[in-house]
Structure 1
Amino acid sequence: MAAKDEHMILRHDKARYRDIAGHLVLHRRLRGSKYEEHKSGVSASLDEARIDWVTALTLLIQKLLSVISFPLLCLGHIVEFFLNLHSLNGGFFGIFWGCLTVSLVIPRRKSADFRSIICHIDGRYELFRSIFITDFSSIEPLPGLDVNPFSLSMMASKLAYENGAFIKNQVNKYWKMHFVRFFNCWNKYLKNRGTQAFICCDKEEDANVIVLAFRGTEPFNAYDWITDVDLSWLSMGKFGKAHLGFMRALGLQDEKDVEIGFPREHEGHNEGKLLAYYAIREELNQLLEKHKRAKIIITGHSLGGALAILFPALLAMHERQDIIDRIHGVMTYGQPRVGDAVFGNNVQAVLKSKYHRMVYRYDIVPRVPFDKPPVALFKHFGTCIYFTSWYEGKVVEESPNPNYFHPFFVFSMYLNAVGDLTKAFLLAYLQNDFDEGFVSLMYRASGLFIPGLASHSPRDYVNGGTMAKIISHKIINKEE
C-alpha cells in the first residue's frame, strides 16, 4: 500500500523550453530536474524514469497555455460581452435602436440573464420528463420524480457553467425545482475562487433527489486546461494515486501529504475562502438530515466530471458511508482521467454500478491526462457509454485513440470533425430541437483545426442523451 505522503509534481512554471528539449533529446532521467518533485523512494520505476514525449509535450502545452492565459481570458470576456449585448437587445437592430433611444441593455456578468459561451453554443435546458432510459440502475427513474435522472444530470452539468443568479432562476422558474446553494470556492494554489458548483432538490420539502453539479472546463480559462492535462499526482494511501490538480480544486491544503491536505475535519473555516469538499459535504449533511428519503445525483462535464468522481472518493477515504449510501448515481460527461488503476478499482468498489461516464466520439478531454507509465499513469474506469456518429451509443472499457496523438487516428479524427459540422446542418432540417446557431457552428469549425475540441461541446452530450432511446437495446446487450 502506498504511503499517504507519496507524490509526484511537475511544475511547468519552473521548466524552461530548452530544459524540456534537452531532456527529451538526451533522454535524461526525470529525477533531479528543476521542475520535478517526488518523495524520495516513491517507486523504483519513477526514480529511473526518463522524460518521454508525453511528459515533454504536457509541459510544453502547459507553458504555452500559461503564456496566453491572460489574453485568452480577456478574449473570453469580450466575446461573452458582445454575445450577451446582441441577445439582450434583440440583435443588431436592437443595439442600434437602444443607442438611439438611450435604452441599451448593458450585460452584467452576475445577472440572471447573462449567459456564458457554453449557453450560447447550446441554450437548451429543458428536462426530459417522459423519456426513461432503464438500461442502468443509476438512470432508472427515482420514486416520486417525474424527470429522467440521466436528463437531469446532463442538464445540470451544463447549467453549472453559468453564474449563480442564472442557475437559481433556471432551477426555480423553469425546472420548477428548489435551488439550494451556489458554491464559489477557493483554490489555494491558483489563489482564486476557481471551483464552482451548485446544489438543487426536486422540491423544497420532502425531496426525492438532491443534485450536485460541478462546473467544468471553461473554454477561455487557460488554467482549467492546464489542470486537465497535468500529470502530477498525490497518493491517497490504499485508495491509490489521484490527480493533484483536481484535488487542489476541491480544497487540498497540502500537496505533498493527503492527510494534512484533506483531514477528516477541517478547522479554520473561512466564508471568504470556502473549500469545495468541506462546504459541499456540510451542505449535503444538512440536506440528507432534512430529506430522509432523498437520493443524491452527482454530475459534471469536463473538469466538473473529474470533481464529481473525486468527491465520493474523498468521502470514502474519510469513511463517510452515511453519504455514500445515499448516492443514486455519479454521471459524468467528457470527463478527464482522475487517478491510477488502484484508485479506479477502489472507487469502483465503493460506487459499484452507480458510476457512468459518457464520451462523445474523439472528445479531447477524456483522453487526458495521458496514460503512459511510469510518469503518466492515469487510467479510466467505470461504465463508459461511448457515442459514435449519429449518436449511436455502446458500452466500452476505453474509447478509441486513448492518448489522442496516435497517427493511426489522425485521418479519422479530421473526417469526424468534418462530419460533425455537416451533421449540424442536416439535423436542423430533421428536428427543430437540434437546430444550431452561428456560435455553435463556429465552435464546431474549431474541430477542423484541433480535432476533438468541438466534440467536447455539451451540445453533443445533450444530443446523445436525447437520442439514446433509439439505441438503448444495443447498450443493454453490451452490458449483459
Structure 2
Amino acid sequence: MESTCCGSSSSYIIYRPEKLKRSHILDFLLPWRSLKGSGHVEISSSSSHHDDSQGSIEAHWITFFSCVLQKIMLRIRRPLSLLGFALEFTLNLFSVNGGILKLIATILRGSVVIPNSESKEWRSFLGHIDGRIDLHRSSSVPSCISKTAPTRRIERIINPLELCMMASKVAYENPAYVNNAVTNHWKMHFEGFFNCWNVFLKEKTTHAFIFCDRPKNARLIVVAFRGTEPFNAKNWCTDLDLSWLSMGKMGRVHLGFMKALGLQDEKDVGKGWPKEYRGDKELAYYLIGDKLRALVEKNKGAKILITGHSLGAALATLFPAILIHHQQTSILSRLFGVYTFGQPRVGDKQFGSFMETHLNSKFKRYVRVVYRYDIVPRIPFDDPYSQFVHFGGCLYYHGWYRAQVLNEEPDENYFSPFYLLSKHFHALLDLSRALYIGIQHGKDYTESSTSILFRVFGLLVPGVASHSPRDCVNAARLGR
C-alpha cells in the first residue's frame, strides 16, 4: 500500500562491496568516470544523482574508502566473529569464577564453572566494559532537554535520558539478562525480546526488547533496539554503507538500516514497505508495531519512548519514520520521545526536514546524544553522492560530561587532519579520568580492567573508545 503522505519512488543507489574488484579502482580514482554500470554499483534510471556528483574527487574517494572498508570487513567476518566469541567466553569465564586468581584455584580443585551464553549472568564484551545494571534514580534531565520538552510527568517516573541509555546498553545482552535487568533491578515489567529476520542477509540480525513501567495501567512503554556489535562485521558494513533508497516526499533514506528494520524490496518503496505484512518471517518493524498497538490499546494513558545506541539508534530513528509513512496515528499520538546515542546518519537533508516537522513541531521529541569524537555519528560519510546528514541538532558531551546543544558535532566526517591532535589528546584525558573517576564519584563509576584496556586502544584509534555506552551512561548521570 502506498502512503498518501510520503509517496513512492524507485530512485536508488546500491553499492555491492562484495563485487568490488581491483579493476574498479580506476572508477574511483578518475573523477570524470561515472560509477554507473561499473558492476559494483547499481543506480536507478530515475536517479540523477550520479551525474550531479560526477567529477567530484571528494565524492569518489569517500565512496571508494567506504566500499574498501566494507570489503575488508566481509573478508575478516569469520575470524572477527571467532575472536569476539573467544574474548567474551574468556571474560565470562573469569567473571563467573570470581576473577583470574579464583579461576586458577577452581581449576586446581576441579570445580570450574563453565559460563552459559544464554544465562542471565553472561555478559557481552560491552557488558564487561560497563557492567552497571541498576538505574541511578537520583539523576535529573539536563536543562537543555527539560526546557524544551514537557518532561515533568515522565520525570516523576524516571529520568528518560538515563533510562533510555541504560535500556540501549542492556539491549546488547541476551534475553535472560535483559529480563533480569528489567524485572529484578529496575522493578518494571518485561514485555518481550524480539529476534528479527533480515530479508537480504537471510539471518536474524535485528534485536530489540520492550518493557513498561508497570504491568497494569502502564504510564511508560519503552522500545530499545540493539546496536552495532563490536565483533559483527555485517553490523559494521551496515554502518559504513552509502546505499540509499528514495522514499518520495520523505527524502532519501539509508538502505542498510531499512533492511535491518524489515524492508522487503531494495528497489521499490511500495513493495519494500507494504502497510500490511503477510509473510512468515518476523520482521522488526511489523512485529514491534503490532506489539505497540496492543500495548497502547491496553494502557490508555501510556507514553512511548524509542531508543537505541549505534545501529540501534539508527533503527530507533527510522521506526517512527515508517510509522509516519504508514500513518500509524494510534502509536504516533502516544510517542513521547526518540532518544538516540552514538547514532549514525540515516537520511538526507529532505529526510531531516520531514522528521523535524513530524517529531519536533509541538515540542522536541527527538534527542540525539553524542560523546566527544565518537566515530559512529560521523558515518556514513556526508558526501556528494549520498548526502547523508543529521537533523535536529545534537546534545554533545565533552570535557567533564558538560553538555552543549550543537547543530553538528565537530569533525563531521571524522578524518579531518585539523582535529587529529585534539582527538588523541582527549582520548588521553578520558583514559586519565577513568583511573580516578571511581574515587571522585563512587564505586558505581569505577572502571573495569576491560574498560581501561579499551581506552588504551582508543589512544591508537580515537573515537572508538568514545563509542562505548559507558560514557553515555556517565553523561546521563553526571552531565550538566
Structures share fold, TM-score greater than 0.5: yes
Q: Which residue of 2 aligns with 1:217?
A: 228
CA distance in structure 1 between the partners assigned to 2:297 and 2:39 by the alignment: 50
Q: Which amino acid aligns with 1:9?
A: I
Instruction: Give, in angstroms, the shift of residue 135 of structure 1.
Output: 3.8
- Equivalent positions of 1:363-374 (< 5 A) are 363-373=374-384
Q: Is the 8 A contact 2:27 2:34 kept in 1?
A: no
Q: Which residue of 2 aligns with 1:196?
A: 207
Q: Is the 8 A contact 1:182 1:197 kept in 2?
A: yes
Q: Which residue of 1 aligns with 2:3?
A: none
- Flag the 1:44–1:124 CA change in 2: closer, same or farther, 3 A: closer
Q: Which residue of 1 aligns with 2:36?
A: 31
Q: Which residue of 2 aligns with 1:341?
A: 349
Q: Which amino acid aligns with 1:188?
A: V
Q: Tell me, yes or no, if structure 1 residue 417 matches structure 2 residue 417.
A: no
Secondary structure in 2 aligned to 1:376?
Answer: coil
Instruction: Give, in angstroms, the shift of residue 25 of structure 1.
Output: 4.2
CA distance in structure 2 between the partners assigned to 1:422 and 1:21 by the alignment: 45
Q: Which residue of 1 aligns with 2:276?
A: 265
CA distance in structure 1 between the partners assigned to 2:200 and 2:163 by the alignment: 32
Q: Tell me, yes or no, if structure 1 residue 176 matches structure 2 residue 175.
A: no
Secondary structure in 2 aligned to 1:52?
Answer: helix
Q: Is the 8 A contact 1:306 1:335 kept in 2?
A: yes
Q: Which residue of 2 aligns with 1:114?
A: 122
Q: Which amino acid aligns with 1:372?
A: D
Instruction: Give, in angstroms, the shift of residue 364 of structure 1.
Output: 0.1
Secondary structure in 2 aligned to 1:377?
Answer: coil
Q: Which residue of 2 aligns with 1:72?
A: 80
The size of the alignment, in residue pairs, is: 465
Instruction: Give, in angstroms, the shift of residue 102 of structure 1.
Output: 3.6
CA distance in structure 1 between the partners assigned to 2:345 and 2:27 by the alignment: 28
- Flag the 1:35–1:421 CA change in 2: closer, same or farther, 3 A: same
Q: Which residue of 2 aligns with 1:185?
A: 196
- Flag the 1:47–1:39 CA change in 2: closer, same or farther, 3 A: farther
- Flag the 1:98–1:46 CA change in 2: closer, same or farther, 3 A: farther
* Residues 286-343 of structure 1: CA deviation (Å, up to 9, x unaligned): 1111111110000000000000000000000001122111011100000000000111
Q: Is the 8 A contact 2:12 2:43 kept in 1?
A: yes
Q: Which residue of 1 aligns with 2:24?
A: 19
- Flag the 1:329–1:143 CA change in 2: closer, same or farther, 3 A: closer
- Equivalent positions of 1:437-456 (< 5 A) are 437-456=448-467
Structure 1 counterpart of 2:410, from 391, 400, 405: 400
Structure 2 counterpart of 1:249, from 260, 264, 267: 260
- Equivalent positions of 1:17-416 (< 5 A) are 17-21=22-26, 23-25=28-30, 27-43=32-48, 45-46=50-51, 49-50=54-55, 52-133=60-141, 135-136=144-145, 137-138=148-149, 140-142=151-153, 145-268=156-279, 270=280, 273-352=281-360, 353-373=364-384, 375-416=385-426
Q: Is the 8 A contact 2:31 2:54 kept in 1?
A: no
Q: Which amino acid aligns with 1:177?
A: M
Q: Which residue of 2 aligns with 1:459?
A: 470
Q: Is the 8 A contact 1:295 1:328 kept in 2?
A: yes
Instruction: Give, in angstroms, the shift of residue 166 of structure 1.
Output: 0.5
Aligned-pair RMSD on alpha carbons?
1.7
Provide TM-score, normalisation by structure 1: 0.93
Deviates more, 1:174-183 or 1:88-97: 88-97
CA distance in structure 2 between the partners assigned to 1:216 and 1:409 by the alignment: 26
Instruction: Give, in angstroms, the shift of residue 21 of structure 1.
Output: 4.7
Instruction: Give, in angstroms, the shift of residue 11 of structure 1.
Output: 0.7
CA distance in structure 1 between the partners assigned to 2:273 and 2:48 by the alignment: 23
CA distance in structure 2 between the partners assigned to 1:219 and 1:237 by the alignment: 34
CA distance in structure 2 between the partners assigned to 1:46 and 1:365 by the alignment: 28
- Flag the 1:17–1:107 CA change in 2: closer, same or farther, 3 A: farther
- Flag the 1:139–1:434 CA change in 2: closer, same or farther, 3 A: farther
CA distance in structure 1 between the partners assigned to 2:149 and 2:79 by the alignment: 42
Instruction: Give, in angstroms, the shift of residue 116 of structure 1.
Output: 0.4
* Residues 376-408 of structure 1: CA deviation (Å, up to 9, x unaligned): 310100131001111111000000000111111
Q: Which amino acid aligns with 1:408?
A: F
Q: Is the 8 A contact 2:245 2:267 kept in 1?
A: yes
Secondary structure in 2 aligned to 1:217?
Answer: coil
CA distance in structure 2 between the partners assigned to 1:130 and 1:204 by the alignment: 23
CA distance in structure 1 between the partners assigned to 2:90 and 2:144 by the alignment: 43
CA distance in structure 2 between the partners assigned to 1:87 and 1:35 by the alignment: 45
Provide TM-score, normalisation by structure 2: 0.93
Instruction: Give, in angstroms, the shift of residue 92 of structure 1.
Output: 2.2
CA distance in structure 1 between the partners assigned to 2:445 and 2:23 by the alignment: 48
Instruction: Give, in angstroms, the shift of residue 144 of structure 1.
Output: 8.6
Q: Which amino acid aligns with 2:46?
A: G
- Flag the 1:96–1:32 CA change in 2: closer, same or farther, 3 A: same
CA distance in structure 2 between the partners assigned to 1:101 and 1:390 by the alignment: 46
* Residues 346-392 of structure 1: CA deviation (Å, up to 9, x unaligned): 1111111100100001000000001111x131010013100111111
Q: Which amino acid aligns with 2:64?
A: A
CA distance in structure 2 between the partners assigned to 1:18 and 1:45 by the alignment: 20
CA distance in structure 1 between the partners assigned to 2:454 and 2:109 by the alignment: 34
CA distance in structure 1 between the partners assigned to 2:43 and 2:35 by the alignment: 10
Q: Is the 8 A contact 1:127 1:147 kept in 2?
A: no
Q: Is the 8 A contact 2:251 2:349 kept in 1?
A: yes
CA distance in structure 1 between the partners assigned to 2:150 and 2:90 by the alignment: 38
Q: Which amino acid aligns with 1:260?
A: K
Instruction: Give, in angstroms, the shift of residue 447 of structure 1.
Output: 1.4
- Flag the 1:449–1:21 CA change in 2: closer, same or farther, 3 A: farther
Instruction: Give, in angstroms, the shift of residue 24 of structure 1.
Output: 1.2
CA distance in structure 2 between the partners assigned to 1:109 and 1:27 by the alignment: 52
Q: Give the share of equivalent positions with the same residue, in percent.
A: 48
CA distance in structure 2 between the partners assigned to 1:274 and 1:358 by the alignment: 30
CA distance in structure 2 between the partners assigned to 1:215 and 1:196 by the alignment: 5
Deviates more, 1:146-155 or 1:288-297: 146-155
CA distance in structure 2 between the partners assigned to 1:303 and 1:138 by the alignment: 25
Secondary structure in 2 aligned to 1:408?
Answer: helix
Instruction: Give, in angstroms, the shift of residue 452 of structure 1.
Output: 0.6
Instruction: Give, in angstroms, the shift of residue 145 of structure 1.
Output: 4.6
